[in-house]
Amino acid sequence: MRRAFLFVLDSFGIGHAPDADRFGDAGSDTLGHIAERCARGEADRPGLREGPLDLPHLTRLGLFHAADLAAGRKPAGTEVSGFFGSAQEISSGKDTPSGHWEMAGVPVTFDWGYFPDEGPAFSDDLVAAIIAEGKVPGILGNCHASGTDIIARHGEEHIRTGKPICYTSADSVFQIAAHETHFGLDRLYALCETVRRLLDPLNIGRVIARPFVGETAETFKRTANRRDYAVPPPEPTLMDRVIAGGGRSLAVGKIGDIFAHRGISHLRKAPDNMAMLDRALEAMADAQDGDLVFANFVDFDTLFGHQRDVAGYAAALEAFDRRLPEALERLRPGDLLILTADHGCDPTFRGTDHTREQVPVIGTGPGLGTGSVGVRKSFADIGETIAEHLRLAPGPHGRSFYGNIAANA
């Protein structure tokens, strides 16, 4: 029996990519800079965490050996029990869909549409269409912004006027924040569907519903009812190939949204990383021969990377690491587990956007080999490795490293 498990630690980069200059991200290093801050005691937070970054299980799988390949950060003398490498992105963006699509075997070779950095983000014509077709009295925001900041800034006016809060970022994205009860969750989703249709000619990657609750700027809080409306991938992904081969694609977290719910056999959602890990463990137990479990752990990105919360990011990594043995214990002969990321979001770097970084490729499985799989020239190598493990035909992008790790499989 052969099964595969792909866990994405959203935004967990391990050193700037060779083309980071093109994105203004030279010098970014999510893991390295968090580790440095922790070592200097600058990420201590009473009641949350303190001291050096403590990731014993990820370290044993080869995390810091992967970081050495990516950024020249020499690992401590820990014996490695898994395989490790780093991967570079060839897609044209540093956004969530690009990273996930590429690791699923479909690099984004076209350019997404983006909104202007200066002045109003959205054109008068687009705003007028949203107001008319979305049946709203107007919009608030119309700028590049951090989601939590713009809700604090405009949330009370939104409740008072009924105008949704619309904003973007460096990604190809249109985000709409609205109150779950005052505006209505179903109404927010319907508005996002309208905006998705209006943006299709502009090739915008995602429209994201960002519901929140609370009554004042001090009490506003985003909820777990986020929903992404993404453009579907232009080619069959790894999940499509799994299903065509007779297996199932079991998605956890926002994977379904990222792939426009194409190639998804079953979907499990949850409000936070620990609950998503619970769902991922359930999916591992349910997985059968030929199945893929594809899980995204989004808190690293949304709660800590974008919020530039070093201590929170470090604590979230440590919490994940403490529970990683639960996944390792569920591995059976014929299983392959890979942990990776979709981009960086260095909480010590300038701004609040993603950072163009290399990502870790670490993993294990009963009977699989250990040691380096090198620097992979595309995230698509991850998908091709899983495909070969599941005995699927090769795809058109990427090169499998399965031969490096399967000597004893």
pLDDT of residue 258: 96
Helix/strand/coil (H/E/C) assignment for every residue in 109-120: CCCCCCCCCCCC
d(CA 153, CA 140): 10
Name the burial class of residue 79, with classes exposed (0-12), middle (13-18) and buried (19+) by CB atoms within 10 angstroms of its CB.
Answer: exposed
Of 129, 112, 218, 111, give the one whose Cα is nearest residue 166: 129
Sign of the CA dihedral running 285, 63, 294, 189: positive
The two three-digit tokens of residue 239, written as one number: 């999940």
Name the burial class of residue 276, with classes exposed (0-12), middle (13-18) and buried (19+) by CB atoms within 10 angstroms of its CB.
Answer: buried
How would DSSP label each residue in 109-157? -SPPP---SSS-SS-HHHHHHHHHHHT-S--EEEEE--HHHHHHHHHHH
pLDDT tens across the length of the chain (409 residues) = 999 999 999 999 999 999 999 999 999 999 999 999 999 999 999 999 999 999 999 999 999 999 999 999 877 767 899 999 999 999 999 999 999 999 999 999 988 999 998 889 999 999 999 999 999 999 999 999 988 899 999 999 999 999 999 999 988 999 999 999 999 999 999 999 999 999 999 999 999 999 999 999 999 999 989 999 999 999 999 999 999 999 999 999 999 999 999 999 999 999 999 999 999 999 999 999 999 999 999 999 999 999 999 999 999 999 999 999 999 999 999 999 999 999 999 999 998 899 999 999 999 999 999 999 999 999 999 999 999 999 999 999 999 999 999 865 5
Mapping DSSP to helix (H, G, I), strand (E, B) and coil, where does residue 244 land?
A: helix
For 37, 82, 184, 317, 323, the CA distances from 58, given in Å and listed in that order, are 19, 9, 41, 9, 11
DSSP state of 304: I
pLDDT of residue 361: 98
pLDDT of residue 147: 84
In our burial notation (b when 16+ CB lie closer than 10 A, e otherwise), range 254-269 reads bbbbbbbeebbeebbb
Measured from the Cβ of residue 332, the count of other Cβ atoms closer than 10 Å reads: 12
List phi, psi (to 5°) of 251. -100, 145
d(CA 188, CA 177): 8
* Residue 100 Cα to chain centre, angstroms: 7
Of 223, 205, 203, give the one whose Cα is nearest residue 214: 223
Please name the residue that has the structure tokens 């049946």: 135
pLDDT of residue 118: 87
pLDDT of residue 75: 77
Of 109, 39, 31, 98, give the one whose Cα is nearest residue 362: 31
Is residue 40 within 8 A of residue 376, CB to CB? The reply is no
Measured from the Cβ of residue 327, the count of other Cβ atoms closer than 10 Å reads: 21
Of 183, 152, 151, give the one whose Cα is nearest residue 166: 151
Q: What is the dihedral of CA 249, 392, 408, 399, to 10 degrees?
A: -100
pLDDT of residue 117: 86
